[in-house]
Amino acid sequence: MLVVHGGWHDGRLALWAEDTERAPAGTSRARARPHPFAATADGLAGALPVDGEPGTARIHLPGSARWPVPSPESGIDAVVRTPALTVWTVPILLVRAAPALAFLGTETDGTWAPAETLHYLGAVAELARDLVRRGRMLPQLVHGEARWRAVLTGSDAAAFRSYAQAMPPVCRAFGDGEARADVVLRQALDLLVDAAAREAFPERLLLGHRPGSRAPLADRWMVALTGDDAALPGAKQADADALGTALTAWYDAAQAANGPARVSFRLDEPVQGTDEWWLEFALQSTDDPAHYVAAADIFDGGAEWPRADETLLAGLGRAVRLFPALYESLRKARPDGMELDTAGAFDFLSTAAPLLQAAGYGVQLPSWAGKRGLGLKLTARSKSKSGPKAVAAQGFGMSELVDYRLDLMVGDETIDPAELEQLALAKVPLIRVRGRWVELDDRQLKAALKAVGRRRAGELTAADVLARVVDGGEPELPLVDVDADGPLGDLLSGEAAERLTPIATPEGFVGTLRPYQERGLSWLSFLSKLGLGGILADDMGLGKTAQTLSLLVAEQSDRPTLLICPMSLVSNWRKEAERFAPGLSVYVHHGTGRDPSALDKHDLVITTYGTALRDLAVLQQTEWERVVCDEAQALKNSGTRQAQAARAIPARTRLALSGTPVENHLAELWALLEFCNPGLLGTVKHFRSRYQEPIEARQDEYASAALKRATGPFILRRLKTDKSIISDLPEKLEVKVWCTLTPEQATLYAAVVEEMMATISATTGIERRGNVLAAMTRLKQVCNHPAHLLKDGSALPGRSGKLDRLESLCAEIVADGEKGLVFTQYAEFGALLQPYLQARLDRPVLWLHGGLAKARRDELVERFQTGDEPTIFLLSLKAAGTGLNLTAANHVIHVDRWWNPAVEDQATDRAYRIGQRKNVQVRKFICTGTLEERIDEMIERKKALAEAVVGTGEDWITDLSTDALRDLFALDPSAVA
C-alpha cells in the first residue's frame, strides 16, 4: 500500500509516497539522506493514474538522524524520541496543472491511499473549480504566457486565508523549506484556476485557424486563453509591456475592494400593496460589518473614515460594470439609493447581488432572499392500524412498509399541482405567496412540474424512505421537510434520544446512569434494534464508556462485541468493565499471548488499532454483534490502513465513540459514518460534491441543512457545559497567575535573547527554524528556573518567581485538605520539582512521566484517586494529557505553557469531568514581560487563529521575521522582581 503525499514544487504538483510494505533501508550521514521507506519512482508512477515527470526532491520532515517520523496514515512503526526537522530526498512525480486538477478528484483504487496533504490539495482543486464556475478569475499575461488568475475579494479572500492557515506543513516542505503557506497556496490556486478555466472553455479558433506570429498580440493572447498552448512566442517586448500593463490595471481594479470601508447595498422590500423597492447605498467597515453608514449620512459628514464620500462614489463607479442599472443613479450629485420595480428587484437579487458580493461589495438582502422557493416535503406514515406505539412494541425494522407522500412546498406552504401551474403561467419570478415574497426561476418551476408527473405517493420500506432523506432530493428541487411518525419518525427527527422513553439503568450494571445517559442508552439500543450504527459524540467526561457498557449489559447478546481503542485506553476499558459491568466476560486481545480461539468465548473483546490491523484475517473469522471504535477520530482518514481494517471487520452494527467527530474538514465525518453505516452517504466523491464543497467553499446553508438532516439521526452530541444536560457538574474557574523573574533569571533571559538572535539572524532555511525552536525552549526554561536551563544540579530555592508561586500554591492546596494536578511539558523540570516539592510540603508528591512502566502508571493513578490524604500529582503534559480520570483533584496548575489551547484543555479535563464534585480551579503560570506574556496575548487576541495554527504546536513561530522574533523575545524591564 502506498500512502501518497502531495505538495507544490517548481510550479507543479509534486507527488511522493510512503511504501508501507517496503523494508526500511539504512540511512547515510549525508546532509540530505534518502527517505528510508519512500516508494520508488517506478512504484509511484505505476500505482498512480496520472502522468508526470519523475525526479527527486529534498523535503523537510520531522525525524531523527536515522528515521523520519512516519505519517499517521502509514501505520509504520519508527520510534523517534526527540524529532527535529531533517532534510530527506524522495522520488517524486511532477505533474502539470491540467492533469493535476483531474488527479486531485480521483478516487483511490485500493492500491494507494491519500495522505492529509492530498485531501487538502483536493479541496484547493475544488475551490479552483468553484471560482471558475462563478467567474471569479481574470485573464492575464504572466511571464509571456496567456494565463487565468483567481480574483479573491470578499468571502473568497476570507476563504483563501482560511485555506492558507489550514495548509499541512508538508505541502510546503520542498526545497529550502522556507516557503510561506499563502505564497504556495496562491501559486497552486492560480495554476489550478487556469487549468479549470481551460477545461471549461473549449479551444476556440479564429476563422478556422490560430492567428499567426505576425497577428496582433492581443488576438494571439485571446486565443491562447483556451486550449492547451498558453505560450506567445515571438512577442515584441513593447507590445507585451503595453498589454501586460493594461491587464494588470484591470486585475488591480477587481481587487480594489480591500480597504477600511467598502461600498454596501441594502435592498428593502415594498410595503404591502405597492411595487416600490428601495436599494440603499452605504459604506460598511471591512473589519466590523455591523458598522454601517448610509450614503445620506455620509454626504452630511456622518462617517469617520477619511474622504468617505470619495470612497463611496469611486466604489459605486466601479460597481456599474457589474450592475449597469446603477448608472442612472450616479447622475445625481449625492446618490444615496435608487427605486426599483419588482422586475428590477428580481434582476438585482438574481444577477447583480451575487456579482457584487463576490467582487467584495457588501450586500444586505431580505431574510427570504436567496432561499429556494420550491422544495419537497416527504410524509411517511406507519401502516399499523393500532398506531405508531403498537408498531414500536411489535418490533420495527428497516424492511417494514410505510405509506409515503411527496408534496410541493413554496416557502413554508404546501401547494397543490393546480396552484403550481398557475404560478408557472404567471411567469413572474418574484411574487407574493400568502403574504410572503418568494423567488421562483424557470429551472425550479420545470423541475417541480416534472415532479408532479411522477409517482408522488405509495408504499416504501423504511430503508428506502431513509435513503431518500439522506439523498436530499434534486439540486433544483431539494427535500426541505420530513414528517414521519412512529420509530421512523423518531429516527429521522435527529432527536430520537429526546423523543424515546429513556431506558432505566439495566440490571447487572453497577451504578446509576444519569438522565442524559439513560437517554443515550435508549438511543444506542434504538439504533441497534434497527440494525444501524451511530456516532456517540458526547463531550469528554460525559461517560461514553459507561453508556456503551450499559448497552452491552442491557442487550445480553449471544455474540461478542469487539472494542478497538488506542493502547493507552486498553486498561481503562478493562477496569471500567470490571467496575460497571462485572457480569460481562472480558478478554484483552493484545500482546504476544493472543489466542484467536478465545475471541468468540467472551462478551467483550478489547484490542488496539495496531493489533486489529495486524490480526485482520483472524478478526474477520468471528461473528461479531458489534464493532466499537473508541477515539474514533483515528478513522477520520478513510484511506488509511487502520480505517480500512476497521471497516473490513464484519458485524451486525457499528458504533464510533469520539468527542471530536469533525476536527479539520467534513471528509472526516464521511469517514466515520462510512464505518458506522457503509454506503449511507454514497461515495466520497458524491459526498464531496453534494455536501463538502458547497459547505466548505461557499458556506451553502441548504447543503448544511441537508447534511444535518442526513447525518443527524446517526449522531448524538451533548456538551457538559450545557446545564440542561448536566446541572450538577461544578464550575471551572480559569485564572492566569502572573510571575516575575528574579534578577538572575532576567540576566540569563537577556543573555539568551542576545545570543540566539545573533545566531538566528546569521542562518536561513531549516537551520534558522531549528535555532528559533531552540531559542524558545531555552527562554521557557529560564522562565521556569535557572537550574532548568543550566542543568548544573544547583540549588533551587529563591531563584525563580514561578517556583516560589508554585510552592506557595501547593502548600495552600494541601493545607486545605485538597488535591492538585501540576502539569509541565518538560520531563527534566518535573524531575527537579518532584523531590523539591516533596521536601517542602513534607508529604509525598507523585510524579507521572513517559518513562514509567504501565503498571507503575496505573498504581500512581489508583493511589491518587483513592487515597484520603491531600496530594500533589506532578505530571508530564505529553504522558498524562489524555486518557486519565483524575477527578480526585479540584486544582489544576499549568506551570509552563504548551501554547495550544486544545492540549491544555485536554489536560484540564483529567479533573473537570463526570465524577467531579467540587469547583475546579485552573491556574496558568505566565512570566510577565517575557515571550510567555506576548504569546498569551496573541492567543487571546486571535482565538480562531490559535485554534487553526497554534493548535499544530509551536512551529508557526519559526516563520516570523527576525524583527518580529526580536519583539517577541524581548524582555520588559518591569518584569524583574
Say yes or no to pLDDT of 886 above 60: yes
- The whole-number pLDDT of residue 396 equals 63
CA dist., res. 326 & res. 315, Å (int): 12
Say yes or no to pLDDT of 390 above 70: no
- The whole-number pLDDT of residue 883 equals 67
CA dist., res. 637 & res. 674, Å (int): 11
- The whole-number pLDDT of residue 943 equals 43
- The whole-number pLDDT of residue 94 equals 93
- The arithmetic mean of pLDDT across residues 313-334, rounded, is 88
CA dist., res. 956 & res. 964, Å (int): 13
Asked whether the domain spanning 732-975 has the same topology as the one spanning 496-716, the reply is yes
490-522 per-position pLDDT tens digit: 787 777 777 788 889 999 999 889 888 999 999
What's the number of CA atoms in the CB half-sphere (13 Å) around residue 661? Answer: 25
pLDDT-above-70 percentage for the chain: 84
More confident residue, 443 or 877: 877
- The whole-number pLDDT of residue 760 equals 82
Task: Check: CB of residue 546 under 8 Å from CB of residue 572.
Answer: no
- The arithmetic mean of pLDDT across residues 416-438, rounded, is 70
- The whole-number pLDDT of residue 259 equals 65
Task: Check: CB of residue 799 under 8 Å from CB of residue 832.
Answer: no
pLDDT-above-90 percentage for the chain: 21
- The whole-number pLDDT of residue 202 equals 60
What are the CB-based long-range contacts (under 8 Å, 24+) for 757-762?
A: 757/962, 757/965, 757/966, 757/969, 760/962, 760/965, 761/962
- The whole-number pLDDT of residue 952 equals 37
**CA terminus-to-terminus distance, the chain:** 59
More confident residue, 289 or 54: 54
| Strand 33-34 relative to strand 84-95, pairing | parallel
- The arithmetic mean of pLDDT across residues 758-783, rounded, is 82
- The whole-number pLDDT of residue 76 equals 66
805-846 per-position pLDDT tens digit: 899 889 889 988 889 999 998 888 998 999 999 888 888 899
Task: Check: CB of residue 561 under 8 Å from CB of residue 552.
Answer: yes
Grid cell in block for residue 267: 435592498
Instruction: Indicate the DSSP class of residue 928.
Output: T
CA dist., res. 336 & res. 296, Å (int): 5
Say yes or no to pLDDT of 203 above 60: no
- The whole-number pLDDT of residue 78 equals 57
Q: Among 626, 633, 643, 664, which residue's Cα sits nearest to residue 537?
A: 633
37-68 per-position pLDDT tens digit: 888 888 888 888 888 999 999 998 887 777 78
Class of domain 496-716: alpha beta
Task: Check: CB of residue 490 under 8 Å from CB of residue 508.
Answer: no
CA dist., res. 958 & res. 180, Å (int): 11
Nearby residues of 529 by Cβ (< 8 Å), 6 or more positions away: 395, 396
Three-class SS state of 922: strand
Say yes or no to pLDDT of 942 above 50: no
- The whole-number pLDDT of residue 904 equals 79
What does the mean pLDDT of the chain come to?
81
Grid cell in block for residue 689: 460534491
Residue ranges covered by each domain of the chain? 2-199, 261-364, 374-492, 496-716, 732-975
> Letter for the amino acid at 541?
G
Q: Which stretches within 591-681 are classed as H helix?
A: 609-614, 616-619, 641-648, 667-676
More confident residue, 794 or 563: 563
Min mean pLDDT across 327-336, 439-448, 519-528, 920-929 is at 439-448
- Please report which helix (H) or strand (E) contains residue 857, including its range: helix 854-866
Q: What are phi and psi of 267, to 5 degrees?
A: -100, 120
- The whole-number pLDDT of residue 948 equals 34
Measure the CA angle with vertex 489, ends 388 and 653; round to 5°: 105
Neighbours of 503 (CB within 10 A): 20
Let me know how long the chain is.
977
Q: What is the pTM of this model?
A: 0.54
Say yes or no to pLDDT of 664 above 50: yes
Nearby residues of 401 by Cβ (< 8 Å), 6 or more positions away: 383, 459, 460, 461, 462
Task: Check: CB of residue 258 under 8 Å from CB of residue 360.
Answer: yes
Say yes or no to pLDDT of 28 above 60: no
Query: E strands, 534-583, where?
Result: 534-536, 561-565
Neighbours of 839 (CB within 10 A): 11
- The whole-number pLDDT of residue 79 equals 58
CA dist., res. 783 & res. 786, Å (int): 8
Residue 378 banded pLDDT, cuts 50, 70, 90:
confident
Measure the CA angle with vertex 128, ends 124 and 134; round to 5°: 140
CATH number given to 732-975: 3.40.50.300
Measure the CA angle with vertex 721, ends 717 and 722; round to 5°: 65
